[in-house]
Amino acid sequence: MKIIIGNRNYSSWSLRGWLAAKQSLLPFETELRVMDSPDWISGEAKADMPSGKVPVLWDHGEAIWDSMAILMYLADKAGHDRFWPRDMHARGLAYAMCAEMHSGFAPLRSACPMDLQHHFPRFAPSDAVMADVRRIEALWEEALTRFGAETGEPWLFGRFGAADIMFAPVCTRIDSYHLPVGPTASAYVTRVLDHPFVAEWRAEALQEDYPFTRYDVPGAVNISQEKRP
Amino acid sequence: MKIIIGNRNYSSWSLRGWLAAKQSLLPFETELRVMDSPDWISGEAKADMPSGKVPVLWDHGEAIWDSMAILMYLADKAGHDRFWPRDMHARGLAYAMCAEMHSGFAPLRSACPMDLQHHFPRFAPSDAVMADVRRIEALWEEALTRFGAETGEPWLFGRFGAADIMFAPVCTRIDSYHLPVGPTASAYVTRVLDHPFVAEWRAEALQEDYPFTRYDVPGAVNISQEKRP
């Protein structure tokens, strides 16, 4: 298997697809396409991206694009238990949370693009952004309280899985943009950022040095690995 | 089970969720909430909609919101074969197509809101809308040619399933807005509109008489059941 991703620093959907590939425990290669490069803009870099977007998983000569589809495909291939809770009610909630993340939270996503190399201590979230954050906190709290806690494991539905993967880039945003959240969400964000897969991605993202001007959020402060381990 | 839907005439996501419930063959009730009514605007009508949006499936006191999640949940409950092709490659393509529909095609969706009571013979699609239509045609063609045709059944992946459900409101838009498509897509649109579940929904939508001013596409021509059987 091969997964095509965009810049690790910026591409939140690539992070989701790549985390799904890691979580499958199946062997795979990662191929990075530099977003906004001349090849990207000309479309040459997108020749093997059916929807023109990252991530794309290639397996047996077939493309599976879109991180939600990649999660579903890899659950079939690697075992549903690696991605979804077994209990039917928990699974229904996990599906709904992942689907809402997949098509929703536009204010948060557009105001706070993922950018792992910077933080934004003076970022002032709009009411719409904070409404998204409150909603996400409520969803996390429900999952953690009703289904996660009883397993003794610290993830949304107990074992690390699809819901944690779908919300991982939200965790990076809460951290980078200093978005105010309560103690439960704050502790969960820290756990996700420290998850070995997420930490691996973040470390590689900090090494990237590609010109990229699409996201221009005021007040960006560059972080070095020294300052933010 | 109970599914909460919005106006049948306008709510394309409700159509998807309701088709999924029908396709499950499980017994369920349908509860319509009138969009843009005073209760809707005040939020009272949304008290049992966790994301504030339709559709929502209620089962065993648990809410599963979002049509993609409803599809996934009902596939677990009623059998994956009722929703997804069995072949791994076909399934990967079906997942990707459904996920792309779930989060994409914004130009088509915003320029051509579902409206089953009207048609728009003078609608002039923008380049962005036509790019969406061409992409959807290509996806349909790939599914029909590679996977649908060999089964002898006329749906995207052979048996009627999740992909047909996700694209059903696109079929109504191609019809209502007179969007130009080739013969393969045109024949597929007709088959979907004539599918018993879709026909049942359309017939009920034509009976609806609720004030609704959110969509104001110029050139709307009212259709009666007489004129468009």
Per residue in A1-14, pLDDT (tens digit) is 999 999 999 999 99
Chain B residue closest in CA terms to A89: B62
For residue A213, being part of any structural domain is answered with: no
Same domain, A45 and A92: no
CATH classification at residue A102: 1.20.1050.10
Name the pTM for this structure: 0.96
For residue B32, being part of any structural domain is answered with: yes
Same domain, B190 and B141: yes
Q: Quick one: angle between helices A88-103 and B67-78, nearest 10?
A: 150
For residue B211, being part of any structural domain is answered with: no
Per residue in A134-165, pLDDT (tens digit) is 999 999 999 999 987 777 889 999 999 999 99
Q: Which of B72, B92, B135 sits opposite A95 (nearest CB)?
A: B72
For residue A22, being part of any structural domain is answered with: yes
Is B160 buried (19+), middle (13-18) or exposed (0-12) by CB count in 10 A?
Answer: buried
Contacts of A134 in chain B (CB under 8 A): none
For residue A208, being part of any structural domain is answered with: no
Strand B29-32 vs strand B2-5: parallel, antiparallel, or unpaired? parallel
> What gap in Å lies between CA B61 and CA B48, rounded to an integer?
11
Contacts of A59 in chain B (CB under 8 A): 92
The predicted complex's ipTM stands at 0.96
Mind telling me how many Å the CA of A60 is from chain B's nearest CA? Answer: 9
For residue A92, being part of any structural domain is answered with: yes
Chain B residue closest in CA terms to A136: B51
- Mean pLDDT for each 10-residue chunk of chain B (229 residues)? 98 98 98 96 96 97 98 98 96 98 97 95 96 98 88 91 98 98 97 98 95 82 62
> What gap in Å lies between CA A150 and CA B18, rounded to an integer?
34
What's the number of domains chain B is made of?
Answer: 2
SS3 A117: coil
Same domain, A46 and A61: yes
Q: Do B69 and A95 form a contact (C-beta atoms < 8 A)?
A: yes
For residue A220, being part of any structural domain is answered with: no
User: What distances in angstroms separate CA B93 from CA A79, B139, B144, B146, B205, one per listed residue?
Assistant: 19, 9, 11, 10, 31
Contacts of A62 in chain B (CB under 8 A): 89, 92-93
Determine the residue among B4, B16, B46, B93 to mutate to test chain A binding: the one whose Cβ has the most chain A Cβ atoms within 10 Å: B93
User: What distances in angstroms separate CA A149 from CA A143, A152, A225, B80, B138, one per listed residue?
Assistant: 9, 6, 32, 30, 46
Q: Which of B51, B68, B92 sits opposite A102 (nearest CB)?
A: B68
Per residue in A54-74, pLDDT (tens digit) is 999 999 999 999 999 999 999
Q: Do B111 and B120 form a contact (C-beta atoms < 8 A)?
A: no
Q: Show the domain range for A158.
A: 84-201
